[in-house]
């Protein structure tokens, strides 16, 4: 791959705020005067597509957004809790405010107790704890010195607690303060423009330090064709692969650059967007330069002679961005892409071998100190179709070390999965180790290496799961005035510990919208989406294009890999992708396939259409359903009304190919489509709201309807597939048993008759 390269050096950022602001103003002036590609301001930016301006406008980050899932307690004479937060590379903090919501023990002595607020280890504020506010929720606003805030930061809350002026128990139950996770940081920023540099991608368009959800407009030159949309989907999924749990929104626009902030622009051929003077591209090209409407914003340009060039440029961006340097790069050679294998998504737990915990977490995160240091969290993403007939549990081979106490009764290492208890391992004290080989294992750091096997029931594991490993040590009281906490206990999980799902097959009853909502299955089965096609209306509105890009961003977030194999077609072209799983996007009545496929869907758009939903009676006689002739099968259908419906998601087997899946995402109108899909899938990726075969959004309520499974996906061997079908059909099992008995009876009857004839002839 050859690139045309030029580069700019990044502005240094002085420590003093005034100096930083001067550099910022100089940078804005330079970038305004020296836009690399000579862009001119657009005359009429669309305010509806404007990204939120960052300069001077405060934004809020709650503790929950920063990863604190629940309110937490500060305990003891010196209780601490640290919360990391970061600042984008293209922002400078001008003002920082902490809005803290908390409660504290009425037993604390106000003259000796306080809550300290620290930024990166330095005290930013000290909050008194007066008696009159004790035991109730207190809201306090704290101004934080902006000069203490850098790109990577740690906010620490420290309780200094005392309940008596005499001898005290440092772990007494009266020493507590409870901090709400609705507390928030309010940050005001100035822009710190970055140079036009492809090597810095995905910054500034996506900054991993920014904990907020991303809103990044996508601008098309003219009505996009299928190739241009495939290029845009690849880029959207490339950004999604870096999202790590954040929601990405890609509002689409036609021929209109946003008035503020960053955007992605797709340009094809000689035509250009109004107000932008662009050189003609001689081939696939990627470039970065200043937004002509906002010198502090950037545009990521994906250009080419035609839309096929755009696909090559998008693939080069997604697979070789580290090789792109300077403000502009021409792609002269198509990147080579390794074919993906099922279930090999980088974000997913490997299914072909045991996986070391060092592959899932850093060594630093696996090493903790203190009597109750909090959980070591191991995040997992798993295929939703794991299957085994007799589940013995997913093996978690834990190699761990701990500091044995002289004596204790309740010290333990506990294993929880998704908040549910799995196993508790006692941490034996020295007095119970004896003088034998176990005590001889003590290492130089006075920790004892141990190993244990925990088995996690498959039913406890969700597509997005978390294993919590928690060390808890006894606090041994030494007597009055002798209780001093010495932080001399350690716990560590060996990075060579493993979790292993390689013994499981893949088999799932479909349709299953929960698998789609949580991890994008079955489309994400191949990480590059090469077995996925998106079916759009013939003339899609920008809202439908936005919904498509949002979905591709979500699929990329699930797999951690760009969707370089995605294919986009219109309804009339759907036969060309019959062998693929289909994502069908529509609003109102703009998709003719809704009528032609109505018989395959779990519900229709009209009151007269029936859903084929399994009712109580159908479940009661389900054992007989597989045996009766088609004409005698009893099918219970449920009437489903579309009145008051904002949007729905439906899953069903593809009418074009058995075993292939279709997920339909529909909105009552284009304006509500994107919001409706967002509400159905949920803004929290860990808590998708859809399940079963149909999920309907009415106002703020989501209704789920389940149909009986109509098909299965997976790769079980014939023996296990036969067992599955037989176990679900008792009548057929009886018939096979009777047939087998008949086959055995016929030769037995012949043998007995022959013996009887011989006896009669004697």
Task: Identify the pLDDT of residue 13.
Answer: 40
In the block, residue with structure tokens 């293209």: 90
**What CATH number does domain 17-54+197-330 carry, 3.30.379.10, 3.10.20.600, 2.40.37.10, 3.40.50.300?**
3.30.379.10
Q: What b/e string do you get for 662-674 counting C-beta neighbours within 10 Å, with b at 16 or more?
A: bbbbbbbebebbb
DSSP 131: G
Euclidean distance between CA atoms 590 and 321, whole angstroms: 38
- Maximum pairwise Cα distance, the chain: 123
> Which pLDDT score is estimated for 598?
87
The pTM for the full model equals 0.82
pLDDT of residue 710: 80
- At 732 the pLDDT is 61
- Count Cβ atoms below 10 Å from residue 278 Cβ, excluding itself: 20
Length of the chain: 762
DSSP class of 349: P
pLDDT the model gives residue 2: 40
Contact in structure between 292 and 81 (CB atoms under 8 Å) = no
Q: Which of these CATH numbers, 1.20.140.10, 3.30.70.20, 3.40.50.300, 3.30.379.10, describes 506-625+632-714?
A: 3.30.379.10
Comparing C-alpha atoms, which of 498, 392, 501, 404 is closest to residue 451?
A: 498
DSSP 701-712: EEEEE-----EE
Q: CA–CA separation, 661 vs 655, rounded Å? A: 9
Look at the block and give the residue holding tokens 């007269």. 608
Tell me the pairing of strands 532-536 and 567-570.
parallel
CA angle 532, 538, 541 (to 5 degrees): 95
Determine which helix (DSSP H) or strand (DSSP E) holds 534, and give its type and residue range: strand 532-536
Token pair 């045991």 in the structure block, residue: 354
Fold topology of 355-503: Jelly Rolls (2.60.120)
pLDDT beneath 50: ranges in the chain: 1-55, 604-641
Can you give the pLDDT at residue 484?
Answer: 59
Domains 17-54+197-330 and 64-182 share a fold: no
Q: Which residues pair with 86 in a beta bridge?
A: 152
Q: Nearest Cα to 525, choosing from 360, 687, 382, 314?
A: 382
Q: How many other β-carbons are positioned within 10 Å of the β-carbon of residue 561?
A: 25
* Interstrand relation of 176-179 and 72-75 (parallel, antiparallel or unpaired): antiparallel
The pLDDT value recorded for residue 118 is: 97
Q: Are 517 and 684 in contact (CB under 8 A)?
A: no
Q: How far is CA 398 from CA 395, 450, 455, 472, in A?
A: 9, 8, 10, 16
Structural fold of domain 64-182: Jelly Rolls (2.60.120)
Domain positions in the chain are 17-54+197-330, 64-182, 355-503, 506-625+632-714, 729-761
Instruction: Supply the DSSP string of 637-694, one letter for each residue.
Output: --B---TT--EEEEEEE-SSSTT-EEEEEEESSHHHHHHHHHHHH-SSTTS----SSE
Cis-peptide into 511, omega within 30 deg? yes
Residue 85 has which token pair? 């937060």
């Amino acid at each position: 791959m050859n690139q045309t390269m030029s580069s700019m050096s990044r502005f240094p950022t002085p420590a003093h705020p005034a100096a930083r602001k001067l550099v910022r103003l100089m940078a804005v002036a330079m970038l305004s005067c020296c836009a690399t590609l000579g862009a001119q301001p657009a005359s009429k930016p669309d305010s509806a597509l404007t990204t939120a301006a960052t300069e001077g406008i405060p934004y809020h980050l709650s503790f929950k957004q920063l990863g604190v899932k629940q309110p937490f307690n500060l305990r003891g004479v010196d209780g601490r809790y640290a919360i990391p937060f970061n600042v984008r590379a293209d922002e400078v903090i001008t003002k920082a405010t902490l809005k803290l919501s908390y409660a504290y023990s009425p037993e604390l002595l106000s003259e000796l107790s306080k809550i300290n607020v620290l930024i990166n280890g330095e005290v930013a504020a000290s909050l008194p704890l007066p008696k009159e506010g004790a035991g109730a929720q207190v809201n306090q606003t704290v101004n934080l010195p902006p000069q203490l805030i850098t790109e990577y930061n740690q906010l620490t809350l420290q309780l200094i607690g005392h309940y008596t002026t005499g001898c005290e128990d440092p772990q007494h139950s009266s020493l507590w303060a409870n901090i709400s996770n609705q507390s928030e940081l309010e940050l005001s920023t100035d822009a710190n423009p970055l140079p036009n540099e492809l090597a810095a991608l995905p910054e500034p368009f996506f900054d991993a330090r920014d904990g907020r959800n991303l809103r990044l407009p996508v601008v098309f030159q003219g009505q996009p064709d299928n190739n241009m949309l495939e290029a845009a989907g690849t880029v959207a999924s490339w950004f999604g692969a870096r999202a790590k749990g954040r929601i990405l929104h890609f509002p689409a626009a036609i021929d209109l650059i946003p008035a503020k902030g960053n955007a992605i622009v797709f340009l094809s051929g000689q035509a250009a967007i109004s107000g932008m003077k662009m050189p003609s591209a001689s081939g696939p090209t990627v470039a970065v330069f200043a937004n002509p409407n906002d010198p502090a914003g950037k545009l990521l340009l994906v250009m080419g002679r035609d839309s096929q060039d755009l696909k090559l440029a998008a693939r080069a961006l997604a697979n070789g961005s580290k090789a792109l340097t300077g403000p502009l790069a021409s792609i002269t050679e198509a990147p080579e892409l390794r074919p993906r294998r099922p279930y090999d998504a980088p974000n997913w737990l490997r299914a072909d071998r045991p996986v070391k915990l060092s592959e899932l977490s850093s060594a630093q995160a696996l090493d903790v100190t203190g009597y109750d240091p909090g959980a070591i969290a191991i995040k997992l993403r798993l295929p939703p179709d794991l299957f085994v007939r007799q589940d013995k549990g997913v093996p978690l081979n834990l190699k761990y070390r701990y500091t044995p106490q002289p004596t204790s009764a309740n010290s333990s290492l506990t294993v929880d999965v998704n908040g549910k208890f799995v196993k508790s391992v006692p941490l034996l004290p020295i007095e119970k180790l004896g003088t034998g080989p176990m005590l001889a294992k003590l290492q130089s750091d006075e920790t004892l290496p141990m190993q244990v096997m925990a088995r996690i029931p498959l039913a406890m594991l969700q597509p997005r799961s978390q294993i919590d490993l928690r060390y808890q040590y006894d606090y041994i009281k030494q007597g009055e005035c002798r209780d001093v906490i010495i932080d001399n206990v350690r716990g560590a999980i060996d990075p060579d510990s493993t979790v292993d799902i390689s013994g499981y097959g893949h088999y799932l009853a479909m349709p299953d919208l929960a698998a789609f909502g949580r991890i994008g299955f079955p489309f994400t089965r191949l990480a590059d989406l090469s077995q996925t096609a998106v079916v759009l209306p013939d003339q899609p509105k920008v809202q439908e294009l936005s919904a498509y890009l949002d979905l591709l961003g979500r699929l990329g977030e699930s797999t951690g890999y760009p969707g370089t194999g995605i294919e986009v077609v219109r309804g009339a072209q759907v036969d060309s992708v019959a062998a693929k799983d289909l994502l069908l996007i529509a609003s109102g009545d703009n998709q003719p396939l809704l009528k032609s496929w109505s018989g395959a869907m779990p519900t229709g758009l009209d009151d007269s259409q029936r859903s084929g939903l399994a009712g109580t009676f159908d479940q009661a006689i389900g054992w007989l359903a597989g045996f009766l002739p088609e004409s005698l099968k009893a099918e219970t259908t449920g009437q489903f009304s579309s009145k008051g419906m904002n949007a729905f998601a439906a899953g069903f087997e593809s009418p074009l190919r058995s075993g292939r899946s279709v997920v339909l995402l529909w909105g009552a109108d284009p304006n509500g489509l994107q919001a409706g899909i967002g509400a159905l899938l949920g803004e929290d990726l860990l808590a998708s709201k859809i399940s079963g075969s149909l999920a309907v959004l009415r106002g703020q309520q989501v209704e789920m309807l389940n149909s009986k499974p109509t098909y299965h996906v997976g790769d079980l061997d014939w023996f296990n597939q036969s067992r599955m079908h037989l176990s679900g059909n008792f009548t057929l099992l009886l018939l096979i048993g009777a047939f087998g008995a008949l086959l055995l009876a016929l030769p037995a009857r012949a043998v007995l008759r022959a013996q009887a004839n011989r006896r009669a002839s004697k």
